Amino acid sequence: MIWHIAKKEIHHNLMTLRFVLMIILLPVLMVANALIYGFGDNGYREEVDTYNLAMERRLSRVKDDAETSLGRLAMRGPGEIYKRPSRFKFCADGADELIPRSIPISERAGGGRGGAVAEEYSWREVWTLEYLPSNHDSDATTLIKIDWVFIGIFMSFFVILFTFDAVAGERAQGTLSLMMSNQISRGQTLSAKYLGAFFTLMVPLAIGILMNLLIIYLSGNIRFDSDDWLRILGMIGVFALHISIFIFLGLFFSSRVSNAITSLVWLLLTWVCLAFIFPSLLGLFVGTLDPIPSIEIVSSRKRAQLANIEDEFRPQEMLEVTKLSEAPAPSNPSATRQWATYFTRRHETKTRIADQHVDQQLRQVKLARELTQISPIVCFQYAMEGLANTGIVSYMNFVKQVRRYRQTFIDFIKTEDRSDPDSLHIYPVREGLSQKPIDPNTVPRFVEHISHQSVIFPVALLILFNALFFTAAQLSFLKSDLK
């Protein structure tokens, strides 16, 4: 009996104007998505070519430094570290244009200045990580990205159009009481209406996705392996959970109110709040709750602390003898250790300030994400970004991995240096380290590992939202008047 009613619902939906609009607009959006991301000027293939070229330059520089000496490699560092482009950007763009695509390496060189600093000595300070600011001035902020997330939000609006009159409309026409006069429970009736709406919506979505993937495959710019296809299946599952939530929400309001127009109004207000108002207000609240110092303030603090270190090692009185009066050399361990202390203090100061500023930004973003997930639309977006490895969480994971690689690189330098008996083993001064070349192939390389742990929580919330709205719809329909 459930399937009989469900087929009746599907047949009714197929005959409506809203289905005609959806069966036209949905494939058009999917095809547009495939053409933009598969053939566009800023598509995945161009991003990969740019990434590969940058990696070649970086590895060439590391090779030259390693073949010169371990000391030179230690001071110049591993070069700028790039984040690999995601091939699933067409599914969840994640506003990646606004997120830094790399973490550069900062270097500082200098030389002798009178009696305060060793004359005729050209020095290079040890490398540090620098975090680029997000590109808030990008034109991408003014453009609508037609990715799968946008299409999913578009579909949630269509779900409302398919369910706002599912109960209220039949009650007004008198067909609901006639249907319930048969040997079927209210729970079975509601389940049948859910299945009818679900399959009506999922079939056009499946057709659109197949068209989308076929065009992208034929473009030859994006290739998928077996793991990628599993991620795509996961995204389709997230789509299904997202659509299911709004079906239950539509059935709830449709069974609670007396007529279909009132149901539509409440559903539209709820959709606007969940899609726009709640995320914006909560994001604004988090920004005012924990304001982040501007880059100018952070730079001023860094300059002040570095100036204190300069005063300690290079007094303004320009005394004839200072801590840095003698140049470091293998034959002068004492001076080499003084320079090592100087470089280490500066390195720790710059690293601490840069890391703290970025960590504060990421903590604010994390808090905003946690609060805005009271909206199932936001949960859907975050789950899609997690599977696509795009968005701010992807960048957060990238930063953590780069920091671990930073320590791995330093440990490698120290380990290699210990194997040279002629070295002073004083890090981080070029003259205090081995002056022998090393095999470039032994230098550790940065490899970004994709993590999908960020998907677990939003998917769990989507399942919870389904359970809550299903229960609400069932209770509402059980208590509703049939006439």
Cis peptide before 421 (omega within 30 of 0): no
In whole angstroms, what is the distance from residue 319 CA to residue 138 CA? 50
Residue 33 · residue 90 · CB < 8 Å:
yes
Length of the chain, in residues: 483
More confident: 481 or 260: 260
Compute the Cα dihedral for 368, 372, 374, 380 and give only its sign.
negative
Q: What confidence category does residue 114 fall into, taking pLDDT thresholds of 50, 70 and 90? A: very low
More confident site: 299 or 182: 299
Instruction: Quickly state the pLDDT bin for 141 (edges 50, 70, 90).
Output: very low
Under the banding of pLDDT at 50, 70 and 90, the label for residue 312 is confident
Distances in Å between the Cα of 43 and the Cα atoms of 85, 89, 143, 145, 197 are 10, 9, 15, 13, 35
Q: How confident is the model at residue 138 (pLDDT cuts 50, 70, 90)?
A: very low
* Residue 391 backbone zone (phi > 0: left; psi -120 to 50: alpha; other: beta): left
Tokens of 80: 């700028």
pLDDT of 271 reads 95
Looking at the predicted structure, is the pLDDT value of residue 137 above 60? no
Tokens found for residue 56: 């070649």
Q: Is residue 25 predicted with pLDDT exceeding 70?
A: yes
| pLDDT for residue 142 is more than 50 | no
Asked whether the predicted pLDDT for residue 425 surpasses 90, the reply is yes
Residue with tokens 């509601």: 190
Dist. CA 413–CA 407, nearest whole Å: 10
Cβ neighbors of 416 (< 8 A, separation 6 or more) are 70, 434, 438, 442
| Alpha-carbon gap, residue 283 to 278, rounded angstroms | 8
Using CA atoms, how far residue 197 sits from 10, 30, 201, 341, 477, in Å, is 7, 21, 6, 70, 16
Q: What is the pLDDT of residues 403-412, one digit of tens each?
A: 999 999 999 9
**Confidence class of residue 322 from pLDDT cuts 50, 70 and 90?**
low
Q: Identify the band that residue 120 occupies on the pLDDT scale cut at 50, 70 and 90.
A: low
Which SS3 state, helix, strand or coil, does residue 126 take? Answer: strand
Confidence at 139, pLDDT banded by 50, 70, 90 = very low
Examine the pLDDT at 393 and tell me if it is beyond 60. yes
Q: Return the amino acid letter for 95.
A: A
Of 209 and 36, more confident: 209
Q: In this predicted structure, what is the pLDDT of residue 428?
A: 92
Tens of pLDDT, residue by residue over 278-303, are 888 887 888 787 788 888 899 999 99
Q: Can you tell me which residue has the tokens 């920004």?
A: 287
pLDDT in tens, 64-110: 999 999 999 999 999 999 999 999 999 998 877 778 888 999 877 77
Q: What pLDDT is recorded for position 46?
A: 83
**pLDDT at position 313:** 81
The amino acid at residue 74 is: A
Q: What is the pLDDT of residues 236-251, one digit of tens each?
A: 999 999 999 999 999 9
- In this prediction, residue 44 carries a pLDDT of 81
Indicate the average pLDDT of the chain: 88
Structure letter (DSSP) for residue 332: B
- Local confidence band at 7 (pLDDT 50, 70, 90 cut-offs): confident
Which range, 129-143, 313-327, 410-424, has the best average confidence (pLDDT)?
410-424
Which pLDDT score, from 0 to 100, does residue 107 have? 75
Mean pLDDT of all residues in 434-445? 96
Question: What's the whole-number mean pLDDT along residues 158-185?
Answer: 81
Please state, in angstroms and as integers, the Cα–Cα distance from residue 272 to each residue in 26, 248, 278, following that order: 20, 17, 9
Around 460, how many Cα atoms within 13 Å sit in the side-chain half-sphere? 5
Task: Give the residue carrying structure tokens 């939202």.
Answer: 465
Mean pLDDT of 368-393: 93
Q: Average the pLDDT over each of 63-77, 159-173, 382-396 and give the range with the smallest value.
A: 159-173
Task: Give residue for tokens 């599914």.
Answer: 91
Number of Cβ atoms within 10 Å of the Cβ of 417: 21
Class of residue 295 by CB neighbours under 10 A (exposed 0-12, middle 13-18, buried 19+) = exposed
How much of the chain exceeds pLDDT 90, in percent? 58
Question: pTM score, two decimals?
Answer: 0.89
What pLDDT sits at residue 1? 67
Which DSSP category does 329 fall into? B
